[in-house]
Each structure stands twice: as structure tokens, then as C-alpha cells.
Amino acid sequence: MTVKQPTTEKNLDGYGFPPIEWERVHTALDGIAAISPMEPSTRYWLGTVRPDGRPHVMPVGILWQDGVFWFSAGAGTQKAKNIARDPRCVVTISTTGIDIVAEGTAEKVTDEATVQRIANAFGASAGGWQPTVRDGAFWHQYSAPSAGPPPWDLYRVTPTTFYGLASAEPYGATRWRV
């Protein structure tokens, strides 16, 4: 996986633990890339900003590939409407041993070749959910209940800041800007 190296690191731990090694986050992200986005042992949430400034958070199926996060959503969903107005968002991931928060920006991707490549990646990693690609979007007989009806637009979230919060030894909390 291509992950940018951090440009800054800040230890956020208040109990005297040293900063978490960046490699630990990198390894966790690579590990989740190898399993289904729907796997119960790994949970993903996407947080966006409503027009009035209130947060909107939903669990989503996310794919980590090429150093960015990928997800799909129907145009009528709140998350899609929020991103169209304000692309700032956050992806949170609960993994074994470390929780990861990634702040960044989301953008809709319509390039047919990219959408097809990511559709294939979802199919290879998501236990058989293989959407077809038509008119720059995903189509399938089903998706997540919160995705709305097809077509589903593809979004890329490019992280700018990561937080690692260790839930197993060695403990700690660290922020990285990439």
C-alpha cells in the first residue's frame, strides 16, 4: 500500500507512554486492506458536516487502497449531500490493538477506469459484492441500507491527518500529519 510518510508527529498520550510508531498504523491499515470491508472485526464510520454545522456519522463499507479510503453512496444520502457542500470528513476505524482516525477530504470519482478498478477491488475483498460500473457509478441489486438506491457514486477520501489510539500494549496516542 502507498501511504504518505508523516511530515509531523505529536505525542498525545497523557500517561507517559512514548509516541506510537507510524509503522503500527501503516501495518493496521494494510491488514484491514486484506479483509472484507464488511468484516465484523473491523468497523468503519464516516463523519461529514451538515449544512448547519452538525456532525453526521454513519457506518460504511470502506476500502483502503493506494493510500486513500474508498466508499460508495447514493446521491440522495445525507453523506453525499454533505460532501457535495463541504468535502471535509473523517474516517474512523476500529481494529485489533489500535483505533485509527483519519481526517481528510472526500471527492466524487467518475473516471470509468478508476471506478471499474475500485469495483473490482471491492469484489475481490468484500465477500462477493461485485458492483457493475455504468455511467461512472456502481450498480448492483443491493448495497448497504444507508447507501440509498443505485446508482452509487464512488468517493475517494484523501487523508491529511491520522490519529492512532492504542487499545493494546504498547499503549499510547499519537497524531501524524501527512
Structural domains of the chain, with CATH: 8-177 (2.30.110.10)
Task: Report the pLDDT value the prediction gives residue 39, as an integer from 0 to 100.
Answer: 58
The pTM of the whole model exceeds 0.95: no
Look at residue 58 and give its three-state secondary structure. Answer: strand
| Residue 90 pLDDT | 98
105 class by beta-carbon count within 10 Å (0-12 exposed, 13-18 middle, 19+ buried): middle
Each residue's pLDDT tens digit in the chain (178 positions)?
466 899 999 999 999 999 999 999 989 998 876 665 555 556 899 999 999 999 999 999 889 999 999 999 999 999 999 999 999 999 999 988 999 999 999 999 999 999 999 999 988 875 667 899 999 999 998 887 777 789 999 999 999 999 999 999 999 999 999 9
Question: Residue 113, SS3?
Answer: helix
Give the per-residue pLDDT at 40.
Answer: 57
CA torsion sign for 31, 136, 127, 121 is negative
